[in-house]
Amino acid sequence: MIDNPVPIGKMTFREMRELSYAGFSVFNDEAIIPAIQGRVPINVKNTNNPAADGTLIVPEDELEVKSPVTGITASNRFAALYLHRYLLNKEAGFTRKILNILYKYNVSYEHMPSGIDDLTIIFDNSQLDEQTIKQMCADIRDTVQPDAMEWIDDYAIIMVVGEGMRARIGTIDNIIKPLADNNIAVHMINQGASRISIMIGVREHDADAAIQEIYSNFFLTNSEVLV
């Protein structure tokens, strides 16, 4: 996907956690709890090149921030259900009705971004099968009677992560602009409460190109976004 990517010399535990959501899988989550609680740095080495420095994972206060973005990762394991209904925001219990249906089918959701008349529910595709999707969607349609409903099974999540985002104004613009310039549609965007991660939802066939454009803008072509 990226030829000769810039090595990550140092990152924080929470940067690692944010990146792991969309594919940066290095550790078992539970296995590193003692290291996080004890503030013990972890050095991740390349088994094919053990002499290299590797990546040091440290507590937040031990990182000297040099750029807004530390890493970018993506996963295609997601699906989404889009619902539109006029005055959706004024109906008490609308979301609860949907959650009750998900509970009925033992399905958890990953995210639920919403607007005034729109709601998107993002799922981990690995927990779903065609029969469950068909029955669950039928129940949701019958229960909440949306004006429009669409199942999207080729959904990808891109995570752009960096401790430096908190002090940098305009990071979202530097992520979205290269996508717009290359006609890559963004279907969802969400910034975490910690302000160190931005989540982008795109169609699966756009994911690789999106990562390449974002990566290029932050690490290869635009020196202004690095300071």
Question: Is residue 124 in a domain?
Answer: yes
Question: Is residue 211 in a domain?
Answer: yes
Question: Is residue 88 in a domain?
Answer: yes
List pLDDT tens digits, range 121-146.
999 988 899 999 999 999 999 999 99
Question: Is residue 59 in a domain?
Answer: no
Measure Cα distances from 84 to 1, 114, 125, 141, 187 in Å. Answer: 35, 10, 22, 11, 14
Question: Is residue 147 in a domain?
Answer: yes
Looking at the structure of the chain, the number of domains it has is 1
Would you say residue 225 has pLDDT above 60?
A: no
Residue type, 110: E
pLDDT band at 27 (very low <50, low <70, confident <90, very high): low
Question: Is residue 192 in a domain?
Answer: yes
Question: Is residue 30 in a domain?
Answer: no
pLDDT over 90, % of the chain: 36
Question: Is residue 195 in a domain?
Answer: yes
List pLDDT tens digits, range 64-98.
887 889 889 888 889 999 999 998 888 888 899 99
- Residue 139 maps to which CATH number? 3.30.2130.10
pLDDT at 25: 65
> What count of Cα atoms within 13 Å lies in the side-chain half-sphere of residue 226?
9
Taking CA 27 as the corner, what is the angle to CA 24 and CA 28, rounded to the nearest 5 degrees? 115
Domain that holds residue 138: 65-227
Token pair belonging to 141 = 């349609």
pLDDT band at 202 (very low <50, low <70, confident <90, very high): very high
Pick from 56-60, 103-107, 212-216: least confident: 56-60
This prediction has a pTM of 0.81
pLDDT at 227: 46
Pick from 29-33, 132-136, 150-154: least confident: 29-33
What is the pLDDT averaged over residues 20-29?
67
